Amino acid sequence: MKRSEINNAIDEAILFFNQMQFRLPVWSFWSLSDWKQNEDRCRDIFNNQLGWDLTDFGRGDFKSEGLLLFTIRNGNPDHNDKTYAEKIMIVEENQVTPMHFHWSKMEDIINRGGGNLIMQLFSSDENEDVGKEDIEVSIDGIKRIIKPGDTISLHPGESITLYQGLYHKFYGEPGKGKVLVGEVSAVNDDHHDNRFREPVGRFPGIDEDVMPKYLLVGDYEKFI
């Protein structure tokens, strides 16, 4: 992705967060010079990979297959005892996050507002392929059984619990607008705990056509 594309996507995200009255930490707007001036006080941010995260999954078409995230809080077994994480995400209409599961992380995905979030689910088998059995899921604490590959529509205020090994793919329902999506989970490790059904690039390759306006979690070591 071009850095200019990333800068523009985050500018648009900030407008949507403000529209939805969701407030980010003050450092989410820091310039590169701000980061350098405060570097010694920001070890938790760097170690726990907090902040802006944006990916096109290596597909080269962010609007069709991509995701914008902001990690608000997270633990790190090597640095602290925090056992939980929280993210806020923006999912556009028909913008797909590819089918994947987590080996370690259990999470709740919450529609915080905007449009509807469509989620397709499969169990996984012993070979880590999609399973063929029915799936029991919990929607806001209410159990239901669905067929493999069925979709669930999460309307604003609704949430689903995703257990380890449960394949999920999601996107915004067309015609309903972009979706503000929350995630509350165990400690998040996007470097080692994502099993995508088809190989993808979790973090984008970046063409530095302009300077970064905002730093991504993958930029801290590069620029600070």
Q: Which amino acid is at 82?
A: K
Which runs of consecutive H residues, i.e. helices, occur in the chain?
3-19, 32-37, 43-47, 220-223
Is residue 78 over pLDDT 90? Answer: no
CATH number at 37 reads: 2.60.120.10
Would you tell me how many other CB atoms lie within 10 Å of the CB of residue 43?
A: 10
Q: What does the pLDDT read at residue 75? A: 96
Average pLDDT, the chain: 97
CA–CA separation, 120 vs 149, rounded Å?
A: 6
Q: What does the pLDDT read at residue 79? A: 83
- What is the pTM assigned to this prediction? 0.96
Is residue 77 over pLDDT 90? Answer: no
DSSP state of 59: S
Q: What does the pLDDT read at residue 138? A: 98
pLDDT band at 71 (very low <50, low <70, confident <90, very high): very high
* Tokens at 119, concatenated: 């989620």
* 137 and 121 Cβ atoms separated by less than 8 Å: yes
The label of the residue with tokens 């499969």 reads 122
- Domain residue limits at 82: 3-223
Number of domains into which the chain is organized: 1
The label of the residue with tokens 């995905």 reads 109
Q: What is the pLDDT of residues 202-215, one digit of tens each?
A: 999 999 999 999 99
The label of the residue with tokens 């209409």 reads 93
Which residue has better confidence, 26 or 78?
26
Is residue 136 over pLDDT 90? Answer: yes
